[in-house]
Amino acid sequence: MADVVTGDFQKKQQGRWIVLCVGVAVLGLGAGLGVRFYQTHHTKPAVAAKKTHADTAQDLSLMGDYDAAQKQLQQALAQPGLTSAQKYSLYYQQGSTYQGEGNNQAALDSYKKAAALKKTQNLYESMAALAVQMGDKASAIDYYKQAIKLIPSSSPISEDSKQTDEAAIKALQEQQS
């Protein structure tokens, strides 16, 4: 009889432990869900990068609305107090937009304005591609050479970029011969 009582007691103890463990797990889950709910509903959302005039113009240009893109860029460039970095972005995008609509000379003029503010590999590669479109292989070669000088050595693709630009120079030199 004592075995029966002891067995019942052990079963009750096991049941209590199971209930206690399940209760702790439910409370933990509830607390975790509560914290997550609080985080998503009571904290400031991550600040999205503010869209610039150049970004807006790029979107318009990609949609084929070159007139609206150029209007956006002209309005932005007319604003007082622009930093040189902002002007660079706007002129670069203006050049890209002109190039997209086939106004190559205006594109080159805008790219040159951007280069007067900041010299970058991408800008000179864009200028080189434009010079190729315009049939000016000598200028394209010069722009590619400038681009190579501006390739950041810390970039994981610097060697690939250099090889690509050197291959473009070689191909242009062969076409000139």
User: For the segment 72-105, what is each residue's pLDDT rounded down to a tens digit?
Assistant: 999 989 999 999 999 999 999 999 999 999 999 9
Average pLDDT, the chain: 81
Q: Report pLDDT for 34.
A: 45
pLDDT of residue 33: 43
Region for residue 102 given its phi and psi (left: phi exceeds 0; alpha: psi -120 to 50; beta: otherwise):
left
**35-67, pLDDT tens digit by residue?**
454 545 554 554 456 778 788 888 888 888 889
Among residues 86, 109, 115, which one has the least CA distance to residue 97? 109
- Distance from chain centroid for Cα 16: 56
Residue with the bigger pLDDT between 109 and 153: it is 109
CB 129 within 8 A of CB 168: no
pLDDT-based confidence at residue 14 (cuts at 50, 70, 90) = low
In CATH, what is the architecture of 53-176?
Answer: Alpha Horseshoe (1.25)
112: its two tokens: 């040159």
Domain ranges of the chain: 1-47, 53-176
